[in-house]
Structures are given as C-alpha cells and as structure tokens.
Amino acid sequence: MRHRIRLIAAVSLLACAGASHAVFVNGGFEQNNLTGWTVGGGSNPGLTGTPPFTGASVQITPGAPGPASVVGAGADPRAPGITLPRVGQYTAKINDENTGARLTTLAQTDTVTAADVDPADGLPHLRFSFAPVLDDPAHSPDEQPYFYVVVRNVADNSVLFEQFAYSGQPGVTFQPGTGSWKYLPFQNVDAVLPASAVGQQISLTVIGADCSLSGHAGYVYVDGFGSAPVGGGGGTPVARVPVPALGNIGMLLMALLLAGSGMLAWRRGA
Ligand SMILES: [Ca+2]
Ligand SMILES: [Ca+2]
C-alpha cells in the first residue's frame, strides 16, 4: 500500500511536470508579435512625490494604450551601443521615439511551474533582459521620461522585484546616445525565487514613458522573459547578487541583478 501511494505521488509529479510550461507565453517575442501579452497605458501626468521613485510613484492617465512593437535585426539610431535583436530574431520595444506624453504598459500573469526550476540550484528563476532608451531634456525628475519593471505575487500583490530609472537619474550609468538621448546597454536580470513559488501566480509589468510635458520621448527594449538563461547576444554578463526580499509572504524573492554598471544603485523594491 505504501509503495502504491509513493508510486501515485511520483506519477502525479511527472504529470504536473509534463503539463507545465515555463513562464511566460511568447516571453522572447519570437512569434514576431505580442501574443500572450497585454498592452495598455495612456498618458504620463508625471510621477508623484520625490526621488527615490518606486511603483507607488507611477501615475497613468487612462487613455488609448501606448505604442508597442516587435523589432528584428537593426541598429537604433539613438542608442548606438544597443545590438538588436537581443536574443533570437525578435525583441519587444515598449513605447517609442515619438513624443506626446504617452505611456505604455506591457503585462502578463503566469503560474510558476516545476519547469521553471533551474537544476543548478533547485530553485525557480525568472530571467529577462532590458535596455532603456530615454531622451534627457533635464526636466525635474518627476517630469522625465522613465522606465519601470515590476514583478508581483498575485496572491497578495506584494512586490517581488522592481526597478525604476528616470532619464539621467544619478547613480545609473546611462551611456550617451544621439543628441540628448541616453541609454543603457542590455542588462540581464536573474531573479531567484524560493521553492515555494512553484504553483503560484506572478505578474510582470513593464512601463516605458515619455516625459510628462509632452515634448520628449522614451522607450525600453525587453526580451528573453522566462526561466531559462537569456542566451547570447547583446547583453552584458550576468552576475547574480542575492538580496533579501522585500515583501511579506511566502514567495520571498531573493534576487537578482547584475552587473557591470551602476545599476546596483537602482532601487530594488520597497
Ligand atoms: Ca527574442
Ligand atoms: Ca513615445
């Protein structure tokens, strides 16, 4: 009887593993479209409060979704150090170089499964790569173009991981682009979730925002969302830096990121 129970348990685990898939749907945008993702947004009325900004500083005036697209091979005339696509054949571009105080959100909610567990450490991972390209008109910080990404535990809406930067933000090593544009080369994020995350839902939201005064633009490239390491391409090497997670709850995120630049000065969640 005991053996039978064990056998049933083993079969159930296998069934779960077989039915599971790695986060997220079309996470690498290799369908050459935004299938699986929800594009939203509106206009940017400016951030609330004073730096350091977080997700709580973000304001969105409801309106038509902001621009979003999928791009293939090519150069970005405003960011000469960015190589496209980041991985595979396509990379998503959230918002664009046109002005008008537009704000774009890209979102997807998915369940972490056994397929997201990295055999190397036995823990589920969420990995991706991003590269913001932001005009820097030197407005006040709350009026600048900005980039924001957040991962939340759906069960209690707690923040597992977030990163924010406005154009020209002190401590963030922006590279000079064309004219007054600034950018960051692709940065890889490797967020390590606790084993208890398997079976839980997480939501991911990326925001790219023009300046709130309507005369300057900003956008962000993202690619490689999933649990597998982001493959070779234009990204910087990953250095995993565990940090104690923010939230309450079960899904404590130890996290992430990386390397190279002054990115470590970025705020990681509240
Ligand atoms: Ca891709
Ligand atoms: Ca725009």
Q: Amino acid identity, residue 177? A: G
Least confident of 73-87, 136-150, 221-235: 221-235
Q: pLDDT grade, residue 5 (50/70/90)?
A: low
Counting ligands in written order, the one closest to the CA of 235 is 1
Query: What is the 87 CA–ligand 1 centroid distance (Å)?
Result: 5
Is the pLDDT at 247 greater than 60? The verdict is no
Query: What is the 32 CA–ligand 1 centroid distance (Å)?
Result: 9
Counting ligands in written order, the one closest to the CA of 95 is 2
Query: What is the 48 CA–ligand 1 centroid distance (Å)?
Result: 34
The domain locations on the chain are 21-265
**pLDDT at 15 (0 to 100):** 44
- Alpha-carbon distance of 48 to 32, in angstroms, equals 35
Is the pLDDT at 248 greater than 50? The verdict is no
CB-CB contact of 168 with 174 (8 Å): yes
> Mean pLDDT over residues 12-26, rounded?
64
Dig out the tokens for 213 from the structure. Answer: 């005064």
Query: What is the 70 CA–ligand 2 centroid distance (Å)?
Result: 15
Query: What is the 216 CA–ligand 1 centroid distance (Å)?
Result: 27
Q: Could you report the per-residue pLDDT of 94-145, keeping only the tens digit for each? A: 999 999 999 999 999 999 999 999 999 999 999 999 999 999 999 999 999 9
Q: pLDDT grade, residue 7 (50/70/90)?
A: low
What percent of the chain has pLDDT above 90? 70
Counting ligands in written order, the one closest to the CA of 103 is 2
